Amino acid sequence: FLGNAEQLAILRQGAAVGNAWRRQQEQNLDSPRTLYLRGADLAEEDLQAADLRGVDLCFADLGGANLARVQFTGSSLGGAKLDGARMSEASLFGCDLRGASLVGADLSGADLGKARCDMADFRRANLDRAKLTDTDLAMAYFFEGNSEHLATFDQGVEAWNVWRRENKDVKPDLSGANF
């Protein structure tokens, strides 16, 4: 853990305590403006509705955490583990999620507008009603099967049928594809 242990201890007390502490810190001009929780272990924590705007959570473990309605706007979550996290209605607007793992995360109704999600892993994630306006999804992963098989399928039915005739002994793997 490379972050601030005091800040981590306060956040682990729950969203109400963390949000109150944060409001108090914002009034104190000498307090640091950024929460520094790089590499923190917050797996399975209940942080529902926490104010985590602008927080450095790079490489943090938030797997299985309840992050519903959390305000992450402008936060750094690069390389973070968010597998199985419950993030419905969360605001991830403008976040850095480069290289983050969101396998099986519930992002239903989440706002990922203008987020940087290059190389993020969204396999089996629920993105129902998620807002993806101007989101950078370059090289993000959404598919578990064989990408070569999917690329052939995407060329159309005729190309797929030709490939199938030429590769009779190959079992195509399109698992996880959303048609």
DSSP 145: S
83's tokens: 């597998």
Q: What is the pLDDT along the chain (179 residues), one digit of tens a residue?
A: 777 888 999 999 989 999 898 888 877 766 666 789 999 999 999 999 999 999 999 999 999 999 999 999 999 999 999 999 999 999 999 999 999 999 999 999 999 999 999 999 998 899 989 999 999 998 888 876 677 777 787 788 888 889 889 988 888 777 766 55
Q: Please give the pLDDT value at position 148.
A: 78
Token pair 């520094």 is at which residue?
A: 36
DSSP 73: T
pLDDT of amino acid 160: 83
